[in-house]
Amino acid sequence: MINKDTLMFGSFSKSPGNRGCSIFNSAFKYHGIDAIYKSYCIDNISDAVAAAKTLGFGGFAVSMPFKHTVIDYVDKLDYSVSLCDAANTIVNNDGILTAYNTDYLAAKDFLIQPEIRIILKTRPLFVLGNGGYAAAVLCAIKEMGLSYTQIDRSTWNLVGDIREAIVYNCTPVSSIKLHENNVLIDCLTYTETGRKLGLMQASHQYFLYTGKKLPFSYDS
């Protein structure tokens, strides 16, 4: 039952969804943690961070277009944020806000999977996009020592020419017209890979928030 001691967590976005609410509230219930998670629609990240700090949130997620600007309103940066120059997860420890980039951590988790590593040995890697999420993915790729080609808005016409490659979509573009002999890693949350990436990312957030492992499989 929600009471005066219930800890608050949430996410700040221009277009909030319900998946985070479902994942985290189910996990809190599983572990018997007196906490709730809610998504919030915001326009001003400074006001949102101030509100979360004033209300004593345990932590919160940040979506585009706030992943870079949120850095200006926290107290400490994890190495993942310094590396990517973007943050998507903030943890509040007694009023001290520390920023992390769990998109970067999830991208590494996905790319080190044995089945993906095998494919990467024989196929070129293309990254679509140049936003905050793409920055996190590129940090993971560079740290792993992988070669890649980045495609953004100015070179999007090249997408149709890609053959026998791994294509990592870091954009909100759906129904990308790729040749069928490519392998697509799609960040969109309604796709198979997007759901898996989302759960990998959420597992890192949940550990930062609670010190516990998310009680769900990546294949859920």
Nearest partner of 112 among 141, 78, 139, 89, judged by Cα: 141
Residues 112-137 pLDDT 10s: 999 999 999 999 999 999 988 999 99
Considering the chain, what is the average pLDDT of its residues?
95
Mean of pLDDT values over 58-75: 95
Look up 213 and say whether it is catalytic. Answer: no
In whole angstroms, what is the distance from residue 205 CA to residue 177 CA?
A: 33
Mean of pLDDT values over 194-212: 97
Residues shown for the chain: 220
Residues 139-187 pLDDT 10s: 999 999 999 999 999 999 999 999 999 999 999 998 899 999 999 999 9
Residues 1-49 pLDDT 10s: 899 999 999 999 998 889 999 999 999 999 999 999 999 999 999 999 9
Confidence of residue 58 (pLDDT cuts 50, 70, 90): very high
In whole angstroms, what is the distance from residue 140 CA to residue 107 CA?
A: 6
In whole angstroms, what is the distance from residue 195 CA to residue 3 CA?
A: 32
Q: Which of 4, 53, 67, 177 is catalytic?
A: 67
Q: What is the 3-state secondary structure (H, E, C) of 87-98?
A: CCEEEEECCEEE
Inter-residue contact 100 to 89 (CB < 8 Å) = yes
Beta strands in 57-139 (DSSP E): 59-62, 76-77, 89-93, 96-100, 125-128
Query: pTM of this prediction?
Result: 0.92
